[in-house]
Structure 1
Amino acid sequence: MTPRPDLLLHLGQDKTGSTAIQRSLYGSPAALRDAGLYFPDPGGHASHRQIFPHLTGCLPEDPVQMKTLAKSEAAAFATAQAMWADTLRQMQAAPPRRLILSSETEFRSYPKAGFERLVQTLNAVVDKVRVVAYLRSPASFFVSRVQQDLKKRPEPSRIPPDHYRRVLAPWRDLGPGPVEVVEYRREALFQGDVIADFCQRFLPELDRARLADPGYSNPTLSAEAMDLLQDFHRGEVQAPYAWYARRPQRFKNLVAQADAEVEGKTRPRLHDSLRAVIEARTTDLDWLEGEFGLTFGDVSPPQMPRATAEERFQTLRDVADICPVDSARKAALWQRVQAIARRDRSLLARAARGFRR
C-alpha cells in the first residue's frame, strides 16, 4: 500500500512573497517531482484559492474576492471540486511524499463547520499536516493591506486590533495540524529571500538551484500610484478608455506599468507618527509571542494609550493621510498612464485593421 503524503499548507499573509513562492514552485515540476513533492495546477491563478471552497465549504466573505474567484457560487464550488478531483488523480498516478497547497487568501478564519470539513477532507487523503504562515509586523502589514485594498476598492478595510489572533487561534484550535509562523522581514529571512527561506525551513529536500525564476510577482506600488487608484475607485478620475474601466484589474496594471516607468518611484512609507499609532492599537503581540514565540524585530514598546491610538486609526481614509504623496510625481504618473493607454489603443487599432484585411 502506497503511504499517504504529508501536506504543507501555506497561508500567506498578503504581501509576504506568496506569489513568488507559488510561481517558483509551480514553474519547477521536474525539480519538485525528483524531490517527491507535488504542487497542484492552480488553474490560471498563482495560488490554490480555487480549491479551497471544496475543502472548507466556504466562499470568500469579501464580495470583491468572490467576484475574482468565480462568476457564481455554484461555479466556484464546481471548479473547486473538479480541481481537487484532478489533484487526487495526479497523486494517484505519481504518489508524492508531500503535497503543497498555498493560498494567501486563506489567511482568515472559517466557521467551525468549515474547519471540520477541511480536517475531514484532508484526513482522507494525507497523513500529517503542517500549517505555515509568514507574518508582517503591524505597521508593515497595515501599509501592505492598504495597498492591496486600493487595487480593488476605494477605501482601505478596517484591520481589527487583534487580527493575528483572530486568524491564528482558530487554525491552532480547529485546524488540520500544528501552526508555525515566521516573521516576514528581509533581515529575518534566510539569505534575505522568501523563496530561499521557505525552502530552507519547509522543503529542505528540494534543490533550490533548479527552481524557476518567479518572474512577475505582484510588485509594490508607490504612494502616488496608490493615491491614483483610490481616485479611480472613488470616481474622481476616469480610465483613459472604456476598455480599462470595464475591469479594475486592467486599470491597476496600467497604473503599475506607468509607476515603473516614471522616475522617483519609492516604496510607500507611513507618516512618521503613524507607526506608533498602529503598534499601540495592536492588542495581540503578547499573545503571538506566548503562543508561537514570535516577536517582531521592528516593533517598539507602545508610545500612547490604546484608546488614543484607536481614535486616530479610525480617521485614516485617504492615502495622503497614511503615506507622503509627491503631488508632482502623481501628476507625471497620470500623464504617463494616459500616454501608455493611447499608445496601446493605437497598437490594438492597427492590429484590428490588419486582421480585417
Structure 2
Amino acid sequence: MRTCYLHIGMPKTGTMSIQASLGRAASLGDKFKYIVLDRQVNCSAALLEIFAGEVSLRDQELRAGWTPEQVQANQARLRQQLDGSFGTQHEAFILSGERLHNLTAPQLKDLREALARHVDQVKVVAYVRGAASWIESAFQQRLKTGSPADFNNLRNVLPKYRTKFQRFDRAFGRENVVLWPFNPAEFPGKDVVLDFCQKLGIPFDASQVIIDNEGVSVDGLALLYLYRRLAKQGKLSSQDKLDIRLLTRQLRDIEGDKMRLAPSVLKPYLELTADDMAWMEERLGSSISALPPARPGALSTEADLLTLTPRALTWLQRTLGEALPDSPTHAQVVAAMDLWLAGLRSQAARAGAGKSNAKTPRADRLAAARTAPNA
C-alpha cells in the first residue's frame, strides 16, 4: 500500500532538523522518498502557493511586475513538480511543511485529493509541544522574525491547538491524523530526527542527522528585545523585519543559557488556554499542560529581560568597538546597534548583488518564469 506521510510540524518541534536531515540524505532506503519542491526541503511555500495562491514576502519582491498569466504559470509549474514527485519505485513518501495550518479546510481537502491521486492513503503526522515550552519558544521566534513580541502580553503566542489541528481532522479524517507528544528526553539519543525515523520505520544513520537550529541565548535575545523596544516600535515594515533578521544572525554568536520564563509568568497564560489544552490532551492522550518548576535565571519581569549582563555588554563592546561607550545607557546601546545595523545592511546588499550577478539557481528559475509564462 502506497502511503504519503504529510508532516506538518507543529512548529518548534525540530521540524527544520527533520527536513534538513531527510531531505539532504543520500538515501532513505528502497521504500521511502523524501519530496523536495522547488529545491526546498521545507515544502510550505510551494504548497501554499499551489493550494492557496499565497506567496511569501520575499518572493513577492522578486516577482515584482509579474502578470497574472505568469503567476498562474508558476503555480502550474509547482503543481507539475508535485505530481511528478510520486514515482513507481517507492512505497512511502514524506512531504513536509510546517506552515500548512495556514490552509483553510477546503484547501486542505484539495491537497488531500491531489495526494490521493498518487497514493493509497495519506497520513498526517505531527509532534505536539507542551503549552509552557511552546509559549517560551514562540515568543523567542517572534522576536527573531520581527513579529509583534511583548513580554507583558503573551496572548499572541498561545499554542491554539484546536485551531491548528482540528481542520486536519476534518479534511483528512481524524483516524488519519497521527499526533505524538514532543518529549525529547524520551527520544532515541534525545534526537527528534531519530525518533521521527523510528516511528515511520525509515532506515537512518544517526551520523546523518543535521541540526538546523537558529537558537539565540538569553543574552542575545535581551539585546534584540531592547533594540526592538526602543528602536522598532509599532508595526514593522518589510525592511524592518529584514533588519531584525540581520541582527538575529549576528546575535547567535553570543554563548549562554536559553531564555526561560518563570512559572509566575506562564501560569496566567496557561489558565487562559485551559480549554484548548484540555481538547488537545484528550486528542493526544498525553499531558501538555504542566507548569515547569522554577529554574535558575528564569525571567519574571520585562525588566529582567531588559537588564543586560556583563557577558552581553562585553560581546557587544568587542563587536562594536568605539561605537559603544563604557557603562552605556540603553539609549546608547540602541544607537550603537543602529550604526552596526547600517553596516550589516550594506554588507547584505553587496552580497545580494553578487549573488544576482552570479545567477543563482533560484534567480535563474524566477527569470525563466518571467520570460516564459506559458512554460
TM-score band by shorter chain is 0.7 to 0.9
Query: 1:36 is aligned with what amino acid?
Result: K
The equivalent residue for 1:212 is: 208
Is 1:321 paired with 2:302?
A: yes
More displaced 10-residue stretch of structure 1: 156-165 or 267-276: 156-165
The equivalent residue for 1:104 is: 98
Give structure 1 stretches of 5+ with no counterpart.
Answer: 61-65, 238-244, 302-317, 353-357
The equivalent residue for 1:31 is: 27
Match of 2:316 among 330, 334, 346: 334
Query: 2:259 is aligned with what amino acid?
Result: P
Contact 2:135 2:159 (C-alpha < 8 Å) held by counterparts: no
Is 1:267 paired with 2:258?
A: yes
Query: 2:57 is aligned with what amino acid?
Result: K
Is 1:165 paired with 2:162?
A: yes
Query: 1:212 is aligned with what amino acid?
Result: Q
TM-aligned CA deviation for residue 225 of structure 1: 2.1
Query: 1:103 is aligned with what amino acid?
Result: G
TM-aligned CA deviation for residue 286 of structure 1: 2.0
The equivalent residue for 2:182 is: 184
Query: 2:52 is aligned with what amino acid?
Result: G
Contact 2:108 2:171 (C-alpha < 8 Å) held by counterparts: yes
TM-aligned CA deviation for residue 249 of structure 1: 4.7
* Identical-pair percentage: 21
Contact 2:193 2:209 (C-alpha < 8 Å) held by counterparts: no
Is 1:289 paired with 2:281?
A: yes
In 2: Cα distance, 1:42 partner to 1:319 partner: 43
Query: What is the SS of the residue equivalent to 2:95?
Result: strand
Contact 2:265 2:300 (C-alpha < 8 Å) held by counterparts: no
May I ask how many residue pairs the two structures share in their alignment?
A: 310
Match of 2:196 among 198, 215, 235: 198
In 1: Cα distance, 2:300 partner to 2:220 partner: 10
Give structure 2 stretches of 5+ with no counterpart.
Answer: 233-237, 293-298, 322-339, 354-375
In 1: Cα distance, 2:266 partner to 2:3 partner: 40
Question: Relative to structure 1, is the Cα distance of residues 201 and 337 closer, same or farther in structure 2, using a 3 angstrom cutoff?
Answer: farther
Contact 1:221 1:267 (C-alpha < 8 Å) held by counterparts: yes
The equivalent residue for 1:314 is: none
Match of 2:270 among 255, 279, 283: 279
Deviations 1:102-132 (A, max 9, x none): 11122x2533321232222222222211111
Question: Relative to structure 1, is the Cα distance of residues 198 and 253 closer, same or farther in structure 2, using a 3 angstrom cutoff?
Answer: farther
Query: What is the SS of the residue equivalent to 1:12?
Result: coil
The equivalent residue for 1:240 is: none
The equivalent residue for 1:52 is: 47
Question: Relative to structure 1, is the Cα distance of residues 290 and 344 closer, same or farther in structure 2, using a 3 angstrom cutoff?
Answer: closer
Contact 1:55 1:117 (C-alpha < 8 Å) held by counterparts: no
Match of 1:120 among 110, 113, 138: 113
Question: Relative to structure 1, is the Cα distance of residues 187 and 210 closer, same or farther in structure 2, using a 3 angstrom cutoff?
Answer: closer
Question: Relative to structure 1, is the Cα distance of residues 292 and 183 closer, same or farther in structure 2, using a 3 angstrom cutoff?
Answer: closer
Question: Relative to structure 1, is the Cα distance of residues 169 and 91 closer, same or farther in structure 2, using a 3 angstrom cutoff?
Answer: closer
TM-aligned CA deviation for residue 345 of structure 1: 7.9
Contact 1:70 1:76 (C-alpha < 8 Å) held by counterparts: no
In 2: Cα distance, 1:248 partner to 1:230 partner: 13
| RMSD, matched Cα | 3.8
In 1: Cα distance, 2:115 partner to 2:305 partner: 46
Is 1:221 paired with 2:202?
A: no
TM-aligned CA deviation for residue 250 of structure 1: 6.4
Contact 2:155 2:269 (C-alpha < 8 Å) held by counterparts: no
In 1: Cα distance, 2:221 partner to 2:272 partner: 24
Contact 2:224 2:247 (C-alpha < 8 Å) held by counterparts: no
The equivalent residue for 2:57 is: 67
TM-aligned CA deviation for residue 101 of structure 1: 0.9
TM-aligned CA deviation for residue 200 of structure 1: 0.6
Query: What is the SS of the residue equivalent to 2:4?
Result: strand
Match of 1:89 among 84, 90, 106: 84
The equivalent residue for 2:372 is: none
In 1: Cα distance, 2:58 partner to 2:24 partner: 23
In 1: Cα distance, 2:72 partner to 2:183 partner: 36
Query: 2:141 is aligned with what amino acid?
Result: Q
Contact 2:109 2:171 (C-alpha < 8 Å) held by counterparts: yes
In 1: Cα distance, 2:277 partner to 2:43 partner: 29
Contact 1:37 1:100 (C-alpha < 8 Å) held by counterparts: yes
In 2: Cα distance, 1:277 partner to 1:129 partner: 38
Question: Relative to structure 1, is the Cα distance of residues 79 and 38 closer, same or farther in structure 2, using a 3 angstrom cutoff?
Answer: farther
